[in-house]
Structure 1
């Protein structure tokens, strides 16, 4: 009987120390999952571009990536811009970005990072829908490329 109690005690006391490794694996898996969604999104963008005429050259700046909070905010903005009532060509990319934002948001909350409330409504209003279409594709692609270059920022708030 004492042996059973001793084993139970050891398993209960040893559990917290042993559980830190799976948490680290969980964090690594979450980060990898976020990056995988980004890779899939880039694939969808490249596939869509092959079906479209060549895009015009556009200049804009990509927001800086400071950590999970800024990534979540930027993905929310891109998600809203992708919700285009004129065409459904962006629906898969919008779903990808929305999924990625959800994972980043959940991971940020798990890490105790501050996360902004999701903006309401669709800010999509453009006098030049074709230009906007190409612009948002380019924005998403460049932002995802920036995330891959700064993937260490997925570990900080």
Structure 2
């Protein structure tokens, strides 16, 4: 009986180190790492897909400015809608990656008490030139993810600033 009592006491003494719940900071770090990893993996998927496609025309596109988690979530939702086009079947993995990333951004926004808008609805668009649409969509996603990765340090610093309820990137 004494051995059982000693075991229970030792278990209770050690338990707080092994059973502590993650802190808000741990959750934020984990979310940011997941977002970064998904963006990097998606860029590898895009690079792999580009090797299977004919040479793309040179496109000049403007990346939307990133104002915070709300704008990132909105923009990723819009890109996900474009990736669901019937002409972009090749994008199924990239679409899944963008969807997953958008979900992680939403989760991070909730963790830092940032307001999030509903997911954007898919809109019917004219796809008279499916090949052009394919290249434009792929380039939009690539540029946007590269831009997010370039600004991830700003997201990290602002996400941990308890005085700022909304995370803004400039």
Q: TM-score, normalised by structure 2?
A: 0.76
Structure 2: runs of 5+ lacking an equivalent: 1-12, 14-19, 160-166
CA distance in 2, matches of 1:48, 1:135: 14
Give, in angstroms, the shift of residue 112 of structure 1.
Answer: 1.1
Aligned residue in 2 for 1:22: 23
Could you say what the CA RMSD is over the residues aligned between the two structures, in angstroms? Answer: 2.3
Q: How many residues align?
A: 143
Q: TM-score, normalised by structure 1?
A: 0.82
Is the contact between residue 75 and residue 98 of structure 1 (CA under 8 Å) also seen in structure 2?
A: yes
Matches within 5 A, 1:4-153: 22-151=23-152, 152-153=154-155
Give, in angstroms, the shift of residue 93 of structure 1.
Answer: 0.4
Give, in angstroms, the shift of residue 39 of structure 1.
Answer: 0.6
Give, in angstroms, the shift of residue 70 of structure 1.
Answer: 0.8
CA distance in 1, matches of 2:85, 2:106: 23
Output one character per residue of 1:71-109: Cα deviation in whole Å (capped at 9) or x when no partner: 111101100011021241011100000000011011112
Secondary structure of the residue that 2:89 maps to in structure 1?
Answer: coil
Runs of 4+ in 1 over 4 A off after TM superposition: none
Give, in angstroms, the shift of residue 124 of structure 1.
Answer: 4.2
Structure 1: runs of 5+ lacking an equivalent: 1-10, 12-17
CA distance in 1, matches of 2:135, 2:151: 24
CA shift in 2, pair 1:41/1:130, >3 Å: same
Give, in angstroms, the shift of residue 23 of structure 1.
Answer: 2.3
Is the contact between residue 69 and residue 113 of structure 1 (CA under 8 Å) also seen in structure 2?
A: yes
Output one character per residue of 1:2-60: Cα deviation in whole Å (capped at 9) or x when no partner: xxxxxxxxx9xxxxxx97x8321221111001110001100100000011111001122
